[in-house]
Amino acid sequence: MNAPGSGAPPPGVLRLGVLQFHVRRLDGVAGFAAALDTHLREAAAAAVSLAVLPEYAVLASASARLAPAGDTGDGAASVAAELAMVLAHSAALLAVMRAAAMTHRLWLLPGTLPMAVAGGVRNRAPLIAPDGRIGFQDKRVMTRFEAESWRIDPGGNPAVFETDWGRIGIAICYDLEFPALVRAQVQAGAWLILAPTCTDTLAGFNRVRLAARARALENQCYVAIAPTVGTAPWSASLDRNRGYAAVFGPVDRGFPEDGVLARGVLDAGGWVCADLDPARLAAVREDGAVRNHRDWPPAPP
């Protein structure tokens, strides 16, 4: 656990926890529920108020019942079967996520959950309040794997969500690499962007990491990434996972000179936590060395 200190943060300050989810074989919905409970107990013990898990973490719950021990799981049929298994149990998995948020009395972004929507499939990120209310952000831009192998449909426009600390946005992995999507959320009042991710190479992770730092710099906001890590030869979908969790902020007065507020160890499991104060952003946007947030030029004709 990488934590900012002991005790609860001051009023108005959010203690954010982003999980480096070390992929392991989970036995269906019950196995995912047990793993989620363990992780959230750790987060609650560190006074985390908003916990974020990675994109596609739920897929670890599918492979145990589909692939026997020793199966490399690298066939296209196995990829399709894993997705089908999660889709068949999406309602039960969402119920588990909601119950966990309510039990541990925290805000929860439990990664993403593929769901059947409007005759197709979308990659959805639920944001769950401690009282069980749920909002969804769909992934807007599909990677080649999602579009060509899984045929997941693009979601709608970026949204913002009202929380106890103000408005926040969610940019799922690849979406973070498109400045206009995050800019729309910031213009709608988001001061924090949560980015659940799943990348199988260091190149893929670095694209997301660099995009997160750029979005934090150009919008003078906070951006947090939560990745899957580790190897899973028994899974066709989560076979390789690289990265580390991190929280980034503006590169300006009152913040670290590289904008890195917290980061984990590459490819290791565990929580990375940071205390985030919206007032610090308001101050730097008003009186920073630069005013990136307000100085965006209009689009060329």
pLDDT band of residue 5 (cuts 50, 70, 90) is low
SS (H, E, C) the chain: CECCCCCCCCCCCEEEEEEEEECCCCCHHHHHHHHHHHHHHHHHHCCCCEEEECCCHHHHHCHHHHCCCCCCCCCHHHHHHHHHHHHHCHHHHHHHHHHHHHHHCCEEEECCEEEEECCEEEEEEEEECCCCCEEEEECCCCCHHHHHHHCCCCCCCCCEEEECCEEEEECCHHHHHCHHHHHHHHHCCCCEEEEEECCCCHHHHHHHHHHHHHHHHHHCCEEEEEEEEEECCCCCCCCEECCCCEEECCCCCCCCCCCEEEECCCCCCEEEEEEECHHHHHHHHHHCCCCCCCCCCCCCC
For residue 291, count CB atoms less than 10 angstroms from its CB and return exposed for 0-12, middle for 13-18, buried for 19 or more: middle
Q: Determine the pLDDT at residue 176.
A: 98
d(CA 257, CA 66): 48
d(CA 287, CA 264): 30
Residue 267 has pLDDT above 50, yes or no: yes
Q: Determine the pLDDT at residue 80.
A: 87
The pair of structure tokens assigned to 213 is 């730092």
The pair of structure tokens assigned to 78 is 């196995």
Where is average pLDDT lowest: 59-73, 188-202, 205-219, 259-273? 59-73
With beta carbons less than 8 A apart as the criterion, state whether 177 and 144 touch: no
Q: Determine the pLDDT at residue 111.
A: 97
Q: Determine the pLDDT at residue 118.
A: 85
Looking at residues 185-195, what average pLDDT do you find?
Answer: 98
Q: Give the residue with greater pLDDT, 118 vs 31.
A: 31
d(CA 162, CA 238): 32
pLDDT band of residue 300 (cuts 50, 70, 90) is confident
Residue 3 has pLDDT above 90, yes or no: no
Per residue in 158-180, pLDDT (tens digit) is 999 999 999 999 999 999 999 99
| pTM (2 d.p.) | 0.94
pLDDT band of residue 119 (cuts 50, 70, 90) is confident
d(CA 36, CA 153): 27
Q: Determine the pLDDT at residue 6.
A: 60
d(CA 131, CA 109): 14
Contacts of 126 (CB under 8 A, 6+ apart): 94, 97, 98, 109, 110, 113, 134, 135, 136
Q: In one letter, which amino acid is 186? A: V
Q: Determine the pLDDT at residue 75.
A: 42
Per residue in 49-104, pLDDT (tens digit) is 999 999 999 999 986 554 444 444 444 348 888 999 999 999 999 999 999 999 99
With beta carbons less than 8 A apart as the criterion, state whether 20 and 241 touch: no
Report which of 167, 63, 58, 168 is spatially closest to residue 111, judged by C-alpha positions.
58
Per residue in 215-266, pLDDT (tens digit) is 999 999 999 999 999 998 888 899 999 999 999 999 999 999 999 999 999 9
Q: Determine the pLDDT at residue 64.
A: 53
Q: Determine the pLDDT at residue 205.
A: 98
Q: Determine the pLDDT at residue 65.
A: 53
Q: Determine the pLDDT at residue 272.
A: 98
Contacts of 290 (CB under 8 A, 6+ apart): 252
Per residue in 135-162, pLDDT (tens digit) is 999 999 999 999 999 999 999 899 999 9
